[in-house]
Amino acid sequence: MLVGVVGGGQLGRMLALAGIPHGHRFRFLDPDPACPASAVGDVVCGAYDDPAALERFASGLDAATFEFENVPAATIDALSALVPTAPGSRSLGVAQDRIAEKQFFRSCGIRVQAFEAVSTEADLAAACGRVGTPAVLKSRRMGYDGKGQSVVRSVRDLADAWRAVGGVPCIYEAFVDFSCEVSMIAVRARDGDVRTWALSMNEHRGGILHRTVAPAPRLPAHVVEEADRAMRTAIEALGHVGVLAIEFFVTPDGLVANEMAPRVHNSAHWTIDGAVTSQFENHVRAVCDEPLGSTDLRGASGMVNLVGSMPDRADLLSVPGARLHDYGKSPRPGRKLGHVNVCAPDERVRDAQLRVLEELVARAAAPVRAR
């Protein structure tokens, strides 16, 4: 099949790397002809809202999907009229708006923290009065990796927070005092078959995912079951086809849903080397209407993101068991350049491998010392 992917970033690249062995070919719509996915398929170069580019992109496709959730809903609607496209615009619409997302979680019986919609600075003061502090002010739309967010520790921070987010429509949400962050990733096929992967435990630095381990260690079974149940309820309610990710905070009272992504997700990159079928392969299978593959674990898995600067490649490749995934991007502060996966026979070995990798990452990030 010829599969079209809106967006040619690393997620598109890894979708193609998973689908090519099945005989599929890939085409990407991206404004950058040298995007990371250009190494693994054709690129139709154009803006995401350019109807002429969309028509060229859609011509001759057998199936289509997208690799980021900020693609205009109108683009996905137009694409769906031309070619079978998954996920659908319902999943996209919910994930694009943090207020709609929280309301959706609530409608599924999934717990969320107190929140209020904010459109003006006067709204913000009122929301702060009702929700209290500490809290986080986040833009309703177009936010990712901690961008468009500001922490409000007291009412004195309100004016600065409003300026920091650029005075756009926002969500004001209570700060959650969590013990750790986890994400549940699942895939749903067109026939309704749903598979979940092992729960991932995530560590962020500066709002960007730093590392993930799976299965999430030291969590009571009922928390893992709660995440699985929440995911199954949400994915069915959306009628979602493809991979869906939900991020949760773990608190003493159980899980609090933070956000969802209607696409393959950074916290499940470990599945490439740590699961029988990766999130990328199963997403392609779902989009192409093929049977899903087993999501069983291959071992104790982990992933470290390579952000901003690239450690020495030979050093990375010398770590026993390390699997390097380089997205072919030029370094820039805060930019995800690649990740390294490990999959070990047990947690002790996995954690030792991760420690070495994290040291290499820290060394690459350290400023060069004056001699």
Residues in touch with ligand AMP (CB under 6 A):
113, 136, 143, 146, 173, 175-176, 181, 204, 207, 247, 258-259
27 versus 140: smaller Cβ distance to ligand AMP: 140
Phi then psi dihedrals of residue 59, to 5 deg: -60, 120
Of the two residues 80 and 133, which places its CB atom closer to ligand AMP in the complex? 133
What is the smallest separation between the CB atom of 176 and ligand AMP, expressed in angstroms?
A: 4
Minimum gap (Å) between residue 288 Cβ and ligand AMP: 30
Minimum distance of ligand AMP from residue 68's CB (angstroms): 14
DSSP designation for 157: G
**Closest CB to ligand AMP among 64 and 216?**
216
CB of 52 to ligand AMP, least distance (A): 33
350-353's contacts with Cβ under 8 Å and 24+ in sequence apart are 350/213, 350/299, 350/300, 350/301, 350/302, 351/213, 351/302, 353/302, 353/319, 353/320, 353/321, 353/322
**For ligand AMP, which residue has the nearest CB?**
176
* Shortest Å, Cβ 213 to ligand AMP: 15
Q: Which is nearer to ligand AMP, 56 or 204 (CB)?
A: 204
Report the distance separating Cα 155 and Cα 145, nearest Å: 25
At closest approach, how far in Å is the CB of 96 from ligand AMP? 13
Using the minimum distance from each CB to ligand AMP, give the nearer residue, 190 or 204.
Answer: 204
b/e per residue 233-268 (b: at least 16 CB within 10 A): ebbeebebbbbbbbbbbbbeeebbbbbbbbbbbbbb
* Beta-strand runs (E) in 75-220: 115-118, 135-139, 149-152, 170-174, 180-188, 194-196, 200-205, 208-214
Amino acid in the structure at residue 273: D
Residue closer to ligand AMP by CB (options 260, 342) is: 260
What residues contact residue 355 under an 8 Å CB cut-off, 6+ apart? none
